Amino acid sequence: MLCPHCQSEIAQESKFCPECGTRISGMSRASHADGASLDGMRTMVGTAPRDSVAPAASPGHEGTLDKVMTLAGMPAPAVSTDGGGKPLGDRYQLMRELGEGGFARVWLAKDLKLGRQVAVKRLKAEAEKGHEGGLARKRFLQESQAIVRLNHRNIVQVFDADSDAEGPYLVMEYIDGPTLREHLRQADRLDQAEALRLFQGIAQGVAFSHRHNIIHRDLKPTNILLAQDGGQFLPKIVDFGLARAGADSNVSLTGYGMGTMGYMPPEQRRDAKNVNHTADIYALGKILYELVSGAVPDNVLPNKIPPPPALARVIFKCIEDNPAERYFSVDELLGELSNLSGPSAELVAGSNLDANACPSCQAPNRHDAKFCERCGAGMMRPCPECERENRVSLPFCGGCGTDVSAFLAVQDIAQKMRAYAGEKKWTRIEKEYALLPESPRLPGEKGSKLLAEVESLYNAAAQIEAHLSTARAAAAKQDWPEVMAAADKALALDDSDTEAKMLRDEARSHQLRVPDGFRLAPGSGPEPYTNTVWARAIVHEKSGIELVYIPAGTFTMGSPTTEADRGGDETQHQVTISHGFYLGKYEVTQAQWEKVTGKSPSHFKNAGAAAPVENVSWDDCQAFCKEAGSGLRLPLEAEWEYACRAGTTTALYSGDIKIISERNAPALDPIAWYGGNSGVTYEGGYDSSGWPEKQEDHKRAGTHPVGQKKPNAWGLYDMIGNVWEWCKDKSKTYPAGPVTLKQPAGPAGRADSDS
């Protein structure tokens, strides 16, 4: 069908042309009591800036406000006129308490200036007291700063933020409706079309907050209010108390959970500070499951999800344990829903965020439509740079000249690049950078900062990936000095890059010759000592490390050429240790490390405080020893091997070793944790399900508490296995002749590498 005025092609059911706004013949024109056309009133309300409000009724026009709101499809406010209530400033009057949460109360209030009902949220007086009062106030203000930036029909709007003698408060849109949780309880199970319609609104609100770099982090049915909108519920997201903007610091309060179990992803349960926007996508998946199945989302069961089968795939992709396996964005999630085949396809077909909602009647419209096809309202959108409202047909903002499409494209690319940077996916950042619009016109401050951020992310990613590529190539050639140099350069740009740390420490393990359970060599040692000699032990005061005395002696260091899995640089030679020294009875534990440094760097945190500390560098160990004091140091390599052998001459201090496969060496089992027997059930272990020829069948592998295996003859535990251990000296070629090692006596602590 063609528009009779501009000849643009329009849909058969359209009542107005989306290009020129011409009314299509056959539609009756209703009028309100004052004679103005209904369509004119709707256009007026719909094209006002989103943060504007209707004027208060003037004398002689007491019913005008109600008429305007009713004609616009909004319920008229039921403002109390009894004059009661407690004043709040000179503009608001508290009427009654609506409810309370962990640290705030919400009141129904009257806006005396505009004659409307509002909700006032204010911090509890008791929440500001005690040692956590400052944190409670910070979290409350954090919510204010987050939500005041979000002006979207699916997010509860903030009108005002202020404080008085009783503390800070927020003035928000009042929603006279149930929470989604209450609605689900009453309805038991929603019609699928209604469930998907509600989800679409929730997801669009979340997508909008993500576009403004705000992550909610506590999405759940109780944080979604349902407002009446033209005879159906309109979902509105509330409670941004856990919201996080960009790299803002997290606020953690005792008694105030960082998220809600059932809707919170695994990474948020482990560390709420380090989640990205995919945490909200995980919660959306749980909410979608609850909407379509009517079941609580503690356990998501495929048989509870109605057809089509693609709906189940969408839900399970949202709730992947690995954030990288979830949808990258809410836009992608909504796009996937729009591709469903089955009874829900028609509903979600227009749910992509590129489809605008009419500000007057909320009908979905094309992104480039100038007028709403249902009610004829002029379509507007705010400039992302200066927030001026512009018609959607204008490619450049009339206020600042920003190329709106280019700005949104750069904004989307920047969001993806930030996420990839957090996941250390440097090549993906380079690919996103290649998609930037050519010479985008972004003259404002926001646009300039956005472009600068994109350039910075790209340059860092390109440099890091180049260094990693060099390190990988050098590792393949076993050029360990080159590996070390390249990995250090990558870590100088990003000190948390896991691959760079692994490459660096693999190089150090070769340079420092840190021994493992398969590379210990037989050798001659001192005559066996009685157990009473080795019972002499002291406890380091600050760290609590138990140290065993090791007397001087002579042994053969290195491995014979006939030993299995021998390294090529392990030439045997005689070493005399001319001094006695103390060595840690156990590997340094996570508890001991945290006691000295106040930090907990270990990857295998769930192994427990008695498990060895790992994920620490040689420099970290040096700093630990310095902080611990009392002469604590790393052992020299010769000291370590001498103490490990404990007077034995076999490959292991328990006897000769027989290697069946890389992870199957039963001779190790009584004395060491290694890949073949290190199965664990705790969360955070390495995925070992695909490891071949394991001694034991396990799905996850990780570290174990120290001291559980048999010690050597000198009372030292875990000298082989569990984790690799750092030594003080650097690697050098073994001499052919005998060596006498002279070192001042003193305690030598044991610490571990992150390899």
| Angle, helices 309-318/330-338, rounded to nearest 10 degrees | 170
Write the burial class of residue 86 (CB in 10 Å: 0-12 exposed, 13-18 middle, 19+ buried). exposed
Residues counted in the chain: 755
Taking residues 642-656, report their average pLDDT: 84
Structural contact between residues 30 and 38, judged by C-beta atoms closer than 8 angstroms: yes
Strands (E) across 673-722 are located at: 686-687, 700-701
Whether residue 699 sits in one domain with residue 676 = yes
Percent of the chain surpassing pLDDT 70: 66
Buried b (16+ CB within 10 A) or exposed e, 325-335: ebbbbbbebbb
| pLDDT number for residue 598 | 93
37 is a domain residue: no
Could you tell me the pLDDT band of residue 436, with boundaries at 50, 70 and 90? confident
Whether residue 615 sits in one domain with residue 698 = yes
| pLDDT number for residue 519 | 21
Could you tell me the pLDDT band of residue 508, with boundaries at 50, 70 and 90? low
Whether residue 559 sits in one domain with residue 696 = yes
Residues 6+ apart with CB under 8 A from 48: none
What does the block give as tokens for 306? Answer: 């109605």
399 is a domain residue: no
| pLDDT number for residue 285 | 95
Whether residue 166 sits in one domain with residue 190 = no
The answer to whether residue 429 scores a pLDDT higher than 50 is: yes
| pLDDT number for residue 90 | 85
| Cross-strand bridge partners of residue 92 | 88, 111
| pLDDT number for residue 2 | 65
384 is a domain residue: no
Last residue of a domain, one of 137, 152, 174: 174
**3-class DSSP assignment, residue 426:** helix
Whether residue 641 sits in one domain with residue 534 = yes
Whether residue 683 sits in one domain with residue 550 = yes
The answer to whether residue 81 scores a pLDDT higher than 90 is: no
Whether residue 660 sits in one domain with residue 565 = yes
Weakest mean pLDDT among 358-362, 371-375, 376-380, 665-669: 358-362
Angle subtended at Cα 147 by Cα 392 and Cα 168, rounded to the nearest 5 degrees: 145
Structural contact between residues 34 and 391, judged by C-beta atoms closer than 8 angstroms: no
365 is a domain residue: no
- Rounded Cα gap, residues 91 and 114, in angstroms: 9
Last residue of a domain, one of 454, 485, 506: 506
| pLDDT number for residue 722 | 87
| Cross-strand bridge partners of residue 94 | 86, 109
CATH code where residue 135 lies? 3.30.200.20
Taking residues 183-205, report their average pLDDT: 89
- Alpha carbons within 13 A on the beta-carbon side of 614: 24
Residues 6+ apart with CB under 8 A from 738: 573, 574, 575, 576
What does the block give as tokens for 194? Answer: 């209604």
Q: Is the dihedral of CA 739, 740, 742, 748 positive or negative?
A: positive
72 is a domain residue: no
Whether residue 628 sits in one domain with residue 498 = no
| Cross-strand bridge partners of residue 391 | 380
- Rounded Cα gap, residues 100 and 647, in angstroms: 70
| pLDDT number for residue 362 | 57
- For residue 713, the tally of other CB atoms under 10 A from its CB is 16
| pLDDT number for residue 709 | 92
Q: What is the mean pLDDT of the chain?
A: 73
| pLDDT number for residue 203 | 94
Residue with the bigger pLDDT between 492 and 373: it is 492
The answer to whether residue 260 scores a pLDDT higher than 50 is: yes
Q: Is the dihedral of CA 425, 426, 428, 429 positive or negative?
A: positive
The answer to whether residue 388 scores a pLDDT higher than 90 is: no
What does the block give as tokens for 326? Answer: 């979830």
The answer to whether residue 131 scores a pLDDT higher than 60 is: no
The answer to whether residue 33 scores a pLDDT higher than 60 is: no
Weakest mean pLDDT among 172-181, 248-257, 372-381, 468-477: 248-257
149 is a domain residue: yes
268-283 confidence digits (pLDDT tens): 888 766 788 899 999 9
| pLDDT number for residue 572 | 85
Last residue of a domain, one of 146, 174, 202: 174
What does the block give as tokens for 473? Answer: 């190539």
* Helix (H) / strand (E) containing 740: strand 739-741
Q: Strands 700-701 and 686-687: what pairing?
A: antiparallel
Whether residue 449 sits in one domain with residue 310 = no
Whether residue 170 sits in one domain with residue 209 = no
338 is a domain residue: yes
In whole angstroms, how far apart are CA 733 and each of 484, 511, 562? Answer: 18, 10, 20
CATH code where residue 626 lies? 3.90.1580.10
What does the block give as tokens for 376? Answer: 């004829």
Q: Please name which of 510, 397, 506, 389 lies closest in space to residue 443, comparing C-alpha atoms.
A: 397
* Helix (H) / strand (E) containing 26: none
Please give the DSSP secondary-structure letter assigned to residue 403.
B
Q: How far is CA 627 from the centre of its chain?
A: 32
| pLDDT number for residue 566 | 63
| Cross-strand bridge partners of residue 686 | 701
288-331 confidence digits (pLDDT tens): 999 999 888 888 888 889 988 889 999 999 999 998 889 988 88
- For residue 9, the tally of other CB atoms under 10 A from its CB is 10
Please give the DSSP secondary-structure letter assigned to residue 104.
E
Buried b (16+ CB within 10 A) or exposed e, 17-53: bbbebbebeeeeeeeeeeeeeebebbbbbbebeeeee
- Rounded Cα gap, residues 284 and 318, in angstroms: 7
CATH code where residue 208 lies? 1.10.510.10
Domain hosting residue 83, numbered range: 78-174
Whether residue 441 sits in one domain with residue 409 = yes
Percent of the chain surpassing pLDDT 90: 17
441-474 confidence digits (pLDDT tens): 777 777 788 888 888 888 988 999 999 999 999 8
Structural contact between residues 684 and 604, judged by C-beta atoms closer than 8 angstroms: yes
Could you tell me the pLDDT band of residue 357, with boundaries at 50, 70 and 90? low
Q: Is the dihedral of CA 618, 620, 623, 628 positive or negative?
A: negative
* Helix (H) / strand (E) containing 197: helix 192-211
The number of folded domains in the chain is 4
Whether residue 692 sits in one domain with residue 581 = yes
What does the block give as tokens for 103? Answer: 């640290």
Residues 6+ apart with CB under 8 A from 35: none
| Angle, helices 445-476/426-433, rounded to nearest 10 degrees | 140
25 is a domain residue: no
**How many helical (H) and strand (E) elements, i.e. helices and strands, does the chain have?**
19, 23
Catalytic residues: 218
Angle subtended at Cα 671 by Cα 665 and Cα 672, rounded to the nearest 5 degrees: 65
Please give the DSSP secondary-structure letter assigned to residue 528.
P
Structural contact between residues 102 and 256, judged by C-beta atoms closer than 8 angstroms: yes
562-621 confidence digits (pLDDT tens): 776 666 667 788 999 988 888 889 999 999 999 999 999 998 999 999 999 988 888 888
What does the block give as tokens for 66? Answer: 């109600």
